Structure 1
Amino acid sequence: MTLVDLGFARLMRQLRQEHGLSFRRLAKIVHYSHTYLWDIETGIKQPTPHVAEALDRGLCANGRLAQLASIESQVVHAANTPTPTAPNPDSVSHRADVQTAALAQRVSASRPPHCSASQWAQAASLLYDIFVRNRPPLMRLCTERYSRSRRRTTGASPFRMEATAQGRAPRAECYAISRQSAPSEIAGLLALAPGEQIVCRENRYYADEEPVQLGQTYIPMEIANSSALFEKTNLGPGGLFERFEDLGYRMARIREQVTTRFPTRQEALALKVPPNVPVILVLHTATDDNGRPFEVTRFIMRSDLMTVQYEIPLGD
């Protein structure tokens, strides 16, 4: 089945987050399973009219979800209606003309009968404003995310702390740990000789099960060797920086360089980046009390889903 996303899933996600509801809590309100609701919000399944009405009531959508579900069901039905066969099957151009005309008729017919063309255009513009221009991104709170006291209190990693504080459900996975020669840029930031051995930890980060960020963390081999940093994908309470402190490396200062570019094909696939959307690169270096750099991470973030915020105290 061809799914046409006109905004139901996005509005559902926005309202659920605004109300601070997990899928399990929402499931109790609308009396449908949380896995089914997750499938609807991620676009795997289309909502039935009954489910749409229940979600509309449960999320106080004032009819918006029910209306979007009605529009989307008509568009999906039109998109899946077989195209009439061309009279002359041997004529490629004739078949193309017939299919083009049929597609135009189906798109026109997908508009609800009570909507005029101008109302349809206004609705499309409104949906764009709500879901593209005004969709709140996940904020990377650069100065607050490394708070040692908060990490000790919550037992959470920086990403988990900031995502949770913004009403999002965070998840991070370390999918690869490797030993490699330090690239020249990374070696310079870590005060290592070019080609010196380092450990690279590669991570993916999700907010509400949507991929928002990649992370490549580089650690000198003499620090990571024979430790959890080299041997474990799950670093336990407090995450990466708590394990550094276990080894005697307490973060005293950070340096972050922010740039943008378009993603590589591999990055675009991993982050599900839409066409023509750039990524934000943050090259982060952590330094201990003795001024020694002990960790560099290159964060790669979707620019349509994340933003970067710094708060810097000013001197005289």
Structure 2
Amino acid sequence: MSQKTPIFCTGATGYIGGAVLARLLNHPNRDNFQITALVRNPEKARILNTRFGVNAVLGSHHERDKIERLVEDNHVIFHVADADDHELIKAVLKGLKNRHAKLGVMPILIHTSGAGVLADNARGEYPSKTIYSDLDVRQLKDIPETAFHRTVDLRVVDADERGYARCQIILPSTVYGIAKHALVEAGVANPRSIQIPTIVRASLSRGRAGVVGKGLSMWPSVHTTDLAELYMVVFDNVMENPNKVGHGWQGFYFAENGEHRWLDISNSVGQAMFELQLTENPEPTSFTVEELKKYFEYEEMGWYFGSNVRARGDRGRELGWAPKRTTQDMLASIKPEVAMSAKKP
């Protein structure tokens, strides 16, 4: 019998990480995988162990030595945790380096970054004309080191160039859809995203839909199940023929299927609030600076919700990724988000 492929997942109880793990558990080759996940909550760890056959190890992202050992013990790493935690990625990369030195193999890292690495400072005032393709390596290399997520991404690329791991980087855009997979139903994984629910909660709190600036800047979007499928397409291709699949600078994958203006989201929030009798006026108004500070943790994060990110996920499509949900599906998903937030402030 062939040995099972050891796989380690971070962020397994999160929104994206949960979707990825759920998809991995339904993989046709599931019986050939030995899956380990780092989990903080003892009850969630118990459920993963007993109901899903996952080796759930109790621990946190601050336990660097433990993470380093777990990475070293596994051939494939799905890193779906904090994309900006420098100490965490250092522990992951050290584990990969140790595995390569000890066994002489080339472990695989599928790292989660974010399309926010392209975010500008448009503050909702205009749509950018610059569109990135993940097949254009020159464009990717020109992204400034000061960009969101960038320093961690560069560490991952450096590890690939040093030759001790094959590194792929997934860059999700606006991820949407209330997750309904088995891990959510079991109370293990988070069912909700961040961007749209943040705007929804802020709008509900102020009693009227809000938008950053004029809302004219643009972002792409991707449904949570389509995003999880991209991880599987990359994983399957790398496992089948690692020499055929690009890695490092040739291993960036934007996750998107259509784009929207921020105003489109705010209009949909306002209309949903009106239909649910949560506001008397469906038209959104601009957030004030004080509201940006109040609802988005700090002012600059508020302006981020008015930035431009225009990107095309060409590399994943070349590998066979075929996302099904469109921008219209994203807009249709907003009313359920409003209804859920109204019930659970």
> What range describes the TM-score normalised by the shorter chain of this pair?
under 0.3
Larger Rg: 1
Higher strand share: 1
Higher relative contact order (CA 8 A, sep 6+): 2
Q: Normalised by the size of structure 2, how large is the TM-score?
A: 0.26
